[in-house]
Amino acid sequence: MHDNPIEADVVIIGSGAAGLTAALHLAGGGLKVLVLSKSDISAGSTAWAQGGIAAVLDEGDTFESHIEDTMVAGAGLNDRRTVEFVVENAPEAIERLARLGVPFNPGETVSERWHLTREGGHSARRIVHVDDATGWAVQKALERAALSTPGIRFLPDHVAVDIITERHAEGRGFSARRAMGLYALDRASGHVRRLVGRAVILATGGASRVYRFSTNPDGSTGDGIAMAWRAGCRVSNMEFNQFHPTCLYHPQVKNFLITEAMRGEGGILRLPDGEAFMERYDSRRELAPRDVVARAIDAEMKRLGLPHVLLDMTHLEPGFVEQHFPTIVKRLSELGVDATRQPIPVVPAAHYTCGGVLVDLHGRTDLAGLYAIGEVTQSGLHGANRMASNSLLECLVFGASAADDILSSFADTPPPAPIRPWDESRVTSSDEEVVVSHNWDELRRFMWDYVGIVRTNRRLERAAHRVALLRQEIADYYGEFRVTPDLLELRNLVEVADLIVRSARERKESRGLHFTSDYPETLAEPRDTILYPSLGG
């Protein structure tokens, strides 16, 4: 199909906090921006974030304290320059959101502008929030601003296929390695279109849907990580998958997150007989970092053969719980659980991808013209374990930083070369879609069983064997049939699964989110796991 390419100055893949922050900055600088989303523009992970955003806003708090808390949570693997950069830019990021109309909860005293809560790993109250639905409020405010900003065009219901580079240029003689747009599948027509620009920003989120249980929306399939890897970018620290300790355990609802702030405000983890067990694992009990809490829950479930544990808020005043967590209380009530009168059944679930595409402080990747921001990256902020409420913050700070870099260098950036249309001449429509759904289920099941909260050499070896078989089967299928959204996501998931397994096998220690029974000790010198792609394949 010889379609006309859609052209913009900058193409952004992803319409969450990172992508929209970058879009607003770029459009404010006079550039034309195209924002791509897989489905509805609100469907990404940002809208699901319950807790809040960390920033030093209280007189008794300091940048140094926020930096040290982040470094401790990251088990020494953070890049201190990145942590300092993000923390020091956090207050301005919050102010930008306030100017856009995000209704942060007001303070309870005259001297307190906003209510600040505390979450695991933080030594002070520094989390601004909008009740227990901060992400939704941030997403809506950014959307309102972007939809009313000239120069920003949304393209919903388009699934990214691959980054366009010099290999896709028409004719010969264009040899400079750089990103010049992407191919994307239009869900409505079923055809692949060319989206062309001088720069491309990956704001695609993480890869937690590679696991059977996840708190993430269905679109968190590691698309940006896989596309950057195929385009020749290094990927780092993919073994660090954060499992949120408390996802609702319910037969009808598989991915409802019970926010960390519930433990920050006094929630207690208990066994079915009422025993509070966290003190046996960490002196910080429920306020220990997420990896500690998730492993403790996992250990108790395995020790006693439990399907879940309980998060108890019943010792607190009902009015307090309802006031601080109205969204959760309402949703639980709809499911027959009264959080003010009965403990909440919870189980760990894959929540956040701490590794990703390797970037610098401007979000630049190894490929000229290709930027990555937010959960898709390994920026150095999170290290071996993301601290609570630093994730939306990373999106806001790096979204602005990447946009500033593009604006400063745009005049010197060459226009993209003419790009070849997508070739569908040698493929047919599949009559075996069951292959995709079966492989999807198999992949997520063995990743949960073999590459989950606790790992061993033998489990990782089994996972590597299964990934290799699936990769070949999916590659054959991809080469024979027209692409579909499910096939594209599965292709990316198996790529990401391979990166996770390879990274986990490289790390001969336990650190942060990566715990292996074969190497339970932590090595003296922290080192990133960096994988180098082969452009030949």
Q: Which of 118, 126, 193, 290 is catalytic?
A: 290
At 46 the pLDDT is 87
Q: Hey, what CATH topology would domain 434-518 get? A: Methane Monooxygenase Hydroxylase; Chain G, domain 1 (1.20.58)
**Known catalytic residue at 290:** yes
At 48 the pLDDT is 81
Question: Can you give the residue ranges of every domain in the chain?
Answer: 6-239+354-412, 244-350, 434-518
At 536 the pLDDT is 41
At 431 the pLDDT is 67
Q: Hey, what CATH topology would domain 6-239+354-412 get? A: FAD/NAD(P)-binding domain (3.50.50)
Pick out the chain residues at pLDDT < 70. Answer: 1-2, 171-176, 431, 535-537
Q: What is the pLDDT of residues 172-190, one digit of tens each?
A: 555 568 999 999 999 999 9
At 213 the pLDDT is 83
Are the beta carbons of 431 and 195 closer than 8 angstroms? no
pTM for the full predicted model:
0.91
Separation of alpha carbons 202 and 370, rounded Å: 8
- Return the closest-CA partner of residue 311 out of 274, 284, 282: 274
DSSP 8-state symbol, 374:
G
Q: What is the CA radius of gyration of the chain?
A: 23
At 47 the pLDDT is 83
3-state secondary structure (DSSP) of residue 7? strand
**What are the distances in angstroms from CA 504 to CA 87, 227, 380, 517?**
29, 21, 18, 12
Separation of alpha carbons 447 and 210, rounded Å: 7
Are the beta carbons of 495 and 229 closer than 8 angstroms? yes
Burial class, 281, CB count within 10 angstroms (exposed 0-12 / middle 13-18 / buried 19+): middle
Burial class, 46, CB count within 10 angstroms (exposed 0-12 / middle 13-18 / buried 19+): buried
DSSP 8-state symbol, 472:
H
At 495 the pLDDT is 97
Q: What is the pLDDT of residues 470-524, one digit of tens each?
A: 999 999 889 888 899 999 999 999 999 999 999 999 999 999 999 999 999 999 9
Are the beta carbons of 359 and 378 closer than 8 angstroms? yes
CATH 3.40.50.460 fits 244-350, yes or no: no
